[in-house]
């Protein structure tokens, strides 16, 4: 709010300031989307020029069982990763914001997955979960065959993805928890509130915006999960873990059906936009009102 | 389905996914973005040859180019790429003003789509004129043809699919390798009882499952059944022989022939090969490149003589010649019509692939060239026993060599085929549903 307050439109910066960002956004954001939207109305395998085919690809979309399945798997995976990551990251973040002696060391350990590349993480877990030669093989039972079972593979994928991203969200929560004024806790303590009560009555409400921000990142991010799944299961067994982005890849870059793949891409953009708008609207996050002491 | 080397670089796919978006952007109107490897073909002063990164064949091609350059006015140069990236790069550049002059390809539907776009030079007349060039096995040459015209020449070894078996595991169980499909089924039961996975199957990759369907359909109905499918004849997928072969595939999986976790096993990380070499699995249906792969990854297994091989079993009452083979007849070199040095490029391809030095070099690396009458050279080579076995499988002109379906069909139908096969093997869909799905694919 430093750039001019409410009702003082004369003090707003001119459009010129936004020009570089706008140019970049149009060139690398809007234009590719427009091109993909055009391609979704064509038939093209990369040879020659795209042939206009009208709504053919869009009409074929509901008939493609793998696209529908991809949508279902994507939503399931989004839900699973949100359910795993949010409580874990919240608890770890709040804990690591405290002043315990072990905090620094433990936080560093929890933080480690964030330093590894997605490929390294996926390949490591692929070896660990290998039902024949990995750690999983010696566990046996249902845990012995996670990646090879159509019923369990998605959970394994959700687990690996969560393992990778929990530290990032933990960091968000840690930073936010540190911002909560100590005076609130001192007050609560004087009134005899237990730590659990303090967490529910002070920490959680104060972290509300962080929960929303982290959820948006998890949910919108989950629409682009790709390389972990490609490396862990390749979308299998069958199509049990073939999320929509992976299906788009198979259609576009294995089958060279660029038109249909573009239709899937447009669908993904639409789903992502709708989801983030929904979350932001329904939570009042767009008002960006601060809960902090001293700011109104 | 490519050869072994093409399958090894799983990581390449990750690189590919990064370039994927760039590809979509570059594809419209600004296709030159991906094709900026050099000046346009018209202005290039060399014959540019594109092939796969492959430690085995790359030096052979390089030597061939060096020999050509010594006597030619215009010189050739080699550019190599990893498998999956190559497919995409080729697809984009063939449609651009800047294609290579000579390009590696898989024949079949892969080559046909370029031919149909008018991008490939017809070699038929050139080969008719040149009797010395008539050295290749006809059933392998057939895969480099589109509508009876020759567009590609075989540039590496034949790769038929072979049923490998672990001799030690078989001896322990006191059984013989299968001659018929019924033998195979009873072996499945035997090994299951002995807690050995009967057949290793890297089910994360649909092309390994495809080999069963290819062989079973050929044994049950003969090669014409797939030829009809490849030609797009209406009702070809719904043929009773196709349904029977699909049912047999599903029966094998449901009977436990591949164990319980085959859907997690990978070929590229040698997971399946290791299961087989360590005796955790008794058999392995794979392309002939598996021999070289086992020799380098599990040398004790090969040197101890425990690696055995037989042709795919016969199906009683089947219409197909039990000697027929499926697999990769070869890879091919073709010339692009947009090349500024078309005649030179054609000369280069014909001279190199038919030269004695080139063929000898292929044999020296343990490959079996698709050339008539090389028994003597093969018998003197390393791995002579296996080389002669594969050569004998293929050399009879009466034997049909059906190309891997995912190469013979167009890429989009091929991708659909592999997806549905994976579902079929997991019993997610019935053979009937498989057929319906494939009839819709285009």
Mean confidence (pLDDT) of chain A = 87
Q: Would you call B275 an interface residue with chain A, using a CB distance cutoff of 8 Å?
A: yes
> Predicted confidence band at A30 (pLDDT cuts at 50, 70, 90)?
very high
Query: What is the arithmetic mean of pLDDT over B233-239?
Result: 93
Among B271, B425, B13, which residue's Cα sits nearest to residue A229? B13
Q: Number of structural domains, chain A?
A: 1
Query: What is the arithmetic mean of pLDDT over A12-28?
Result: 88
**Interface subset of B 407-426, CB within 8 angstroms of A:** 410-416, 419, 422-423, 426
> Predicted confidence band at A287 (pLDDT cuts at 50, 70, 90)?
low
pLDDT reading at B59 higher than 70: yes
**Interface subset of B 10-69, CB within 8 angstroms of A:** 10-11, 13-14, 16-17, 20-21, 23-25, 27-29
Among candidates B28, B88, B428 on the partner chain, residue whose Cβ is nearest the Cβ of A38 = B28
- Count Cβ atoms below 10 Å from residue B192 Cβ, excluding itself: 15
pLDDT score, position B97: 84
Strand segments (E) across B21-88? 46-52, 75-81
Give me the domain span that covers residue A119: 21-287
Cβ–Cβ of B412/A256 closer than 8 Å? yes
* Within-domain flag for A36: yes
One DSSP character per residue, B233-297 reads: -TTSTT-HHHHHHHHHHHHHHHHTTT-S-GGG--TTTTHHHHHHHTTSEEEEEEETHHHHHHHHH
Among B267, B349, B278, which residue's Cα sits nearest to residue B307? B278
pLDDT reading at B11 higher than 50: no
* Within-domain flag for A10: no
Q: Would you call A119 an interface residue with chain B, using a CB distance cutoff of 8 Å?
A: yes
pLDDT reading at B43 higher than 70: no
- Count Cβ atoms below 10 Å from residue B158 Cβ, excluding itself: 26
Cβ–Cβ of A252/B422 closer than 8 Å? no
Which residues in chain A are contacts of B253 at CB distance < 8 A?
A: none
Cβ–Cβ of A253/B88 closer than 8 Å? yes
pLDDT score, position A288: 55
- Domain with residue A87: its CATH number is 1.10.3720.10
* Within-domain flag for A6: no
The nearest alpha carbon in chain B to A66 belongs to: B419
* Within-domain flag for A155: yes
- pLDDT tens for residues A103-145? 888 888 888 888 899 999 999 999 999 988 888 888 877 888 8
How far does the CA of residue B388 sit from the closest CA of chain A (Å)? 34
* Within-domain flag for A241: yes
Which residues in chain B are contacts of A239 at CB distance < 8 A?
A: 419, 422-423, 428
Tell me if ipTM is over 0.85.
no
pLDDT score, position B334: 97
Among candidates B114, B204, B412 on the partner chain, residue whose Cβ is nearest the Cβ of A255 = B412
Q: Which tops the pLDDT comparison, B44 or B329?
A: B329
Among B180, B205, B175, which residue's Cα sits nearest to residue B192? B175
pLDDT reading at B36 higher than 70: no
Query: What is the arithmetic mean of pLDDT over A74-98?
Result: 93
B199 beta partners: B283
> Predicted confidence band at A290 (pLDDT cuts at 50, 70, 90)?
low
Work out whether the CA dihedral A110, A111, A113, A118 comes out positive or negative: positive
| φ, ψ at A233 (rounded to 5°) | -130, -10
Cβ–Cβ of A47/B280 closer than 8 Å? no
How far does the CA of residue A227 sit from the closest CA of chain B (Å)? 6
pLDDT score, position A273: 87
Query: What is the arithmetic mean of pLDDT over B144-155?
Result: 94
One DSSP character per residue, chain A reads: --S--TT-GGGSPPGGGGHHHHHHHIIIIIHHHHHHHHHTTEE--SSSSPEE-TTHHHHHGGG-HHHHHHHHHHHHHHHHHHHHHHHHHHHHHHHHTS--TTHHHHHHHHHGGGGS-HHHHHHHHHHHH-TTTSHHHHH-HHHH-STT-TTTHHHHHHHHHHHHHHHHHHHHHHHHHHHS-HHHHHHHHHTT--HHHHIIIIIHHHTHHHHHHHHHHHHHHHTT--HHHHHHTTT-STTTT--HHHHHHIIIIIS--HHHHHHHHHHHHHHHHHHHHHHHHHHTGGG-----TT--
pLDDT score, position B280: 94
Which residues in chain B are contacts of A66 at CB distance < 8 A?
A: 419
The nearest alpha carbon in chain A to B24 belongs to: A36
Question: Which domains, and CATH codes, for chain B?
Answer: 4-156+331-372 (3.40.190.10), 159-327+403-440 (3.40.190.10)
Kindly tell me the burial class for residue B103, based on how many C-beta atoms sit within 10 Å of its own C-beta (0-12, 13-18, 19 or more).
buried
pLDDT reading at B298 higher than 50: yes
Among B431, B432, B418, B428, which residue's Cα sits nearest to residue B203? B418
pLDDT score, position B7: 40
Mapped onto helix, strand or coil, the DSSP state of residue B75 is strand
- Count Cβ atoms below 10 Å from residue A44 Cβ, excluding itself: 22
The nearest alpha carbon in chain A to B29 belongs to: A49
> Predicted confidence band at A163 (pLDDT cuts at 50, 70, 90)?
very high
What stretch of H or E contains B56? none
Query: pTM of the predicted model, to two decimals?
Result: 0.82
- Residues recorded for chain A: 296
* Within-domain flag for A79: yes
Mapped onto helix, strand or coil, the DSSP state of residue B359 is helix
* Span of A12-16, B197-201, B319-323 with lowest mean pLDDT: A12-16
* Span of A163-167, A272-276, A282-286, B26-30 with lowest mean pLDDT: B26-30
Q: Which of A60, A147, A228, A234 to mutate to test the interface with B (most CBs of B within 10 A)?
A: A234
The nearest alpha carbon in chain B to A148 belongs to: B264
- pLDDT tens for residues B80-116? 998 778 888 898 898 888 899 999 999 988 898 899 8
**Interface subset of B 132-191, CB within 8 angstroms of A:** none
Interface size between A and B, measured as CB pairs under 8 A: 143
* Span of A185-189, A234-238, B24-28, B325-329 with lowest mean pLDDT: B24-28
What stretch of H or E contains B3? none
Among candidates B25, B203, B426 on the partner chain, residue whose Cβ is nearest the Cβ of A32 = B25
Rounded Cα gap, residues A174 and A169, in angstroms: 8
Work out whether the CA dihedral B410, B413, B416, B422 comes out positive or negative: negative
* Within-domain flag for A239: yes
Which residues in chain A are contacts of B428 at CB distance < 8 A?
A: 150, 238-239
List, in order, residues 6 or more apart from A251 with CB less than 8 Å away. Answer: A257, A260, A261, A264, B412, B415
Mapped onto helix, strand or coil, the DSSP state of residue B442 is coil
Query: What is the arithmetic mean of pLDDT over A15-23?
Result: 89
Cβ–Cβ of A150/B23 closer than 8 Å? no
* Within-domain flag for A13: no
């Amino acid at each position: 709010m430093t750039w001019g307050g409410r009702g003082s439109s004369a003090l707003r910066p001119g459009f010129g300031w936004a020009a570089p960002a706008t140019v970049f956004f149009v060139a690398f954001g809007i234009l590719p989307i427009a091109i993909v939207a055009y391609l979704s109305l064509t038939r093209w395998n990369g040879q020659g020029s795209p042939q206009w085919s009208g709504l053919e690809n869009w009409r074929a979309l509901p008939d493609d069982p793998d696209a529908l399945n991809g949508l279902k798997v994507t939503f399931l995976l989004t839900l699973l990763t949100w359910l795993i990551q949010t409580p874990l990251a919240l608890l770890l973040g709040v804990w690591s914001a405290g002043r315990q002696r072990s905090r620094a060391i433990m936080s560093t350990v929890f933080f480690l997955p964030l330093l590894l590349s997605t490929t390294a993480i996926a390949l490591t877990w692929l070896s660990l979960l290998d039902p024949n030669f990995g750690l999983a093989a010696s566990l046996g039972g249902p845990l012995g065959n996670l990646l090879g079972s159509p019923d369990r593979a998605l959970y394994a994928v959700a687990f690996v993805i969560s393992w990778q991203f929990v530290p990032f969200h933990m960091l968000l929560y840690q930073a936010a928890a540190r911002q909560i004024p100590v005076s609130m806790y001192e007050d609560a303590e004087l009134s005899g509130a237990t730590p659990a009560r303090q967490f529910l009555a002070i920490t959680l409400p104060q972290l509300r915006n962080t929960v929303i921000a982290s959820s948006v990142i998890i949910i919108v991010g989950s629409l682009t999960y790709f390389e972990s799944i490609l490396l862990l299961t390749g979308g299998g067994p069958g199509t049990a873990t073939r999320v929509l982005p992976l299906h788009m890849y198979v259609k576009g870059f294995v089958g060279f059906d660029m038109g249909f793949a573009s239709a899937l891409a447009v669908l993904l953009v639409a789903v992502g936009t709708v989801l983030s708008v929904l979350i932001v609207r329904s939570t009042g996050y767009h008002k960006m009102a601060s809960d902090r002491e001293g700011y109104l | 389905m490519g050869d072994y080397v093409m399958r090894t670089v799983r990581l390449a796919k990750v690189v590919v996914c990064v370039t994927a978006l760039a590809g979509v952007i570059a594809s419209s109107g600004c296709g030159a973005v991906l094709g900026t490897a050099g000046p346009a073909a018209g202005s290039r002063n060399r014959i540019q040859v594109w092939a796969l990164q492959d430690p085995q064949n790359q030096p052979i091609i390089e030597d061939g180019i060096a020999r050509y350059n010594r006597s030619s006015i215009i010189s050739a140069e080699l550019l190599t790429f990893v498998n999956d990236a190559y497919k995409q790069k080729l697809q984009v550049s063939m449609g651009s003003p800047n294609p290579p002059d000579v390009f590696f390809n898989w024949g079949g539907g892969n080559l046909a789509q370029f031919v149909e776009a008018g991008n490939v030079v017809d070699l038929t007349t050139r080969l008719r004129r040149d009797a010395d060039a008539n050295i290749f096995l006809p059933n392998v040459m057939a895969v480099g043809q589109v509508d009876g015209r020759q567009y590609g020449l075989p540039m590496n070894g034949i790769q038929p699919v072979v049923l490998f078996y672990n001799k030690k595991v078989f001896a322990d169980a006191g059984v013989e390798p299968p001659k018929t499909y019924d033998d195979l089924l009873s072996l499945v039961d035997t090994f299951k009882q002995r807690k050995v996975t009967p057949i290793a199957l890297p089910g994360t990759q649909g092309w390994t499952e495809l080999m069963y369907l290819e062989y079973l359909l050929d044994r049950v109905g003969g090669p014409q059944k797939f030829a009809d499918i490849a030609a797009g004849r209406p009702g070809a997928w719904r043929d009773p022989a196709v349904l029977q072969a699909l049912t047999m595939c599903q029966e094998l999986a449901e009977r436990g022939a591949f164990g319980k976790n085959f859907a997690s096993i990978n070929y590229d990380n040698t997971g399946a090969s290791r299961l087989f070499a360590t005796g955790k699995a008794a058999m392995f249906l794979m392309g002939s490149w598996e021999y070289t792969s086992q020799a380098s990854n599990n040398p004790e297994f090969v040197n101890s003589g425990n690696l055995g091989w037989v042709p795919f079993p016969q199906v009683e009452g089947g219409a197909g010649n039990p000697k027929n083979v499926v697999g990769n007849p070869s890879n091919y070199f073709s010339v692009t019509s947009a090349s500024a040095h078309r005649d030179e490029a054609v000369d280069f391809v014909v001279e190199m692939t038919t030269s004695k030095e080139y063929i000898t070099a292929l044999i020296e690396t343990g490959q079996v060239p698709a050339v008539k009458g090389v028994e003597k050279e093969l018998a003197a080579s390393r791995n002579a026993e296996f080389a002669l076995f594969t050569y004998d499988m293929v050399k009879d002109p009466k034997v049909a060599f059906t190309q891997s379906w995912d190469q013979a069909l167009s890429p989009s139908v091929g991708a659909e085929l592999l997806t549905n096969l994976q579902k079929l093997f997991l019993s997610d869909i019935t053979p009937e549903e498989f057929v319906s799905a494939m009839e819709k694919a285009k």
